[in-house]
Structure 1
């Protein structure tokens, strides 16, 4: 039991760090400007539920699926970096700011961003995917498996609650603060994109040079 508890705490710490629920809030705020609370809550629920389903699926089949299609974690890092770079640039140019739209267009927009980029790659990113693959491989007993999925559920719940409370933060910072936050987070997201790209490209380039050198 103690082994499963220690394993669950380690998995929780890793997943919480990789998903970073509080770090997602600024992007969530900037992408949902102009939407009412109902749509924001719907986006938060759909994004976290989608991410949970994907990570559970990956826990059971991730390694086999990746090997079958020949997909590496480095490839995910590169793709995630490119997506983050585009998002960060748009934020820096304040292109993500929203205006009030009809219920139909708001719902369509909510459905779009709940999956990408919120569920993938913000919540379910390369780091979270890698963590689930590694920990699922180490979860060789039923208590460990229960601890792993309990840790995942706890992190996803925290993420959902953080996104649900984002509207209150919006009221505190106001429209001017929101614009400043938008550009600041654009810089941060682009910095994260560069880190993703470097961490994904470095092993690939090293392997290419080793092959050519050999």
Structure 2
């Protein structure tokens, strides 16, 4: 990526970056075993209801931060460039945990990381059309997460421990590259100011 992604207009690169960042941060496939553990002892209908409720609440919270992320930063006097550096470092730490298999702690804090990533991305999606696109990306990823929750037993059986480990590490490497890009863009903007 030669130019910063936040140059103004919504581009395919920006949409792909946001989708990959949120997909890797939320990690729907990696949440399947945690969902099974949390809903242990529930029948299929109760599991579906719990998954649906979790997705609806998650969507509401994420939309709130997608819309109000930048104003919240402004309220505290934090520039988007500074938040890019801090958020990029945080995402890099998450990627490190993914690569070195600190899965349980990582999945227990998925909501906090997803919100941080969303606040980072909200600066790139500043206009109404861009915000609608970001909300659409969130909706699509959460819909995928819901499907994986519903199929959690099958997904977990299909991947097995080795498949989950390989997928988690691969996603960690991708997230680390995105994190470095966030930091680089933030440092470039801070240096130009």
Q: TM-score range by the shorter chain?
A: 0.5 to 0.7
Asked if structure 2 preserves the Cα contact closer than 8 Å seen for 1:8 and 1:151, the reply is: no
The equivalent residue for 1:180 is 162
Aligned Cα root-mean-square deviation (Å):
4.0
Contact preservation (8 Å) 2:92, 2:175:
yes
Instruction: Kindly state the Cα deviation for residue 163 of structure 1 after the two structures are TM-superposed.
Output: 1.3
Contact 2:88 2:182 in 1 (8 A): yes
Change (3 A) 1:47 1:89: farther
Q: Does 1:133 align with 2:144?
A: no
Say yes or no: does 1:40 pair with 2:51.
yes
After superposition, give the CA deviation of every residue in 1:94-147 in whole Å (9 maximum; x if it has no partner): x639xxxxxxxxxxxxxx94xx21x332x3454x434321331xx3xxxxx2x2
Residue 163 of structure 1 corresponds to 145
Q: What are structure 1's unaligned runs of at least 5 residues?
A: 1-6, 98-111, 140-144
Instruction: Give 1:52's match in structure 2, choosing from 63, 70, 77.
Output: 63
Residues 22, 178 of structure 1: alpha-carbon distance in 2 compared, 3 angstrom cutoff: farther
Which of 30, 33, 39 is 1:30 aligned to?
33
Aligned to 1:96, what secondary structure does the other structure show? Answer: helix
| TM-score w.r.t. length of structure 1 | 0.58
Q: CA deviation at 1:80?
A: 1.8
* Cα deviations by residue, 1:144-190 (Å, 9 ceiling, x for unpaired): x2x23332332222222111111344343453623233211231243
The answer for unaligned runs of 5 or more in structure 2 is: 1-8, 40-46
The count of residues paired between Structure 1 and Structure 2 equals 171
Gap change, CA 1:180 and 1:203, over 3 Å in 2: same
Which one of 136, 139, 142 corresponds to residue 154 of structure 1? 136
TM-score (norm 2): 0.63
Aligned equivalents of 1:68, 1:59: Cα separation in 2: 9
Q: Could you tell me which residue of structure 2 aligns to residue 100 of structure 1? A: none
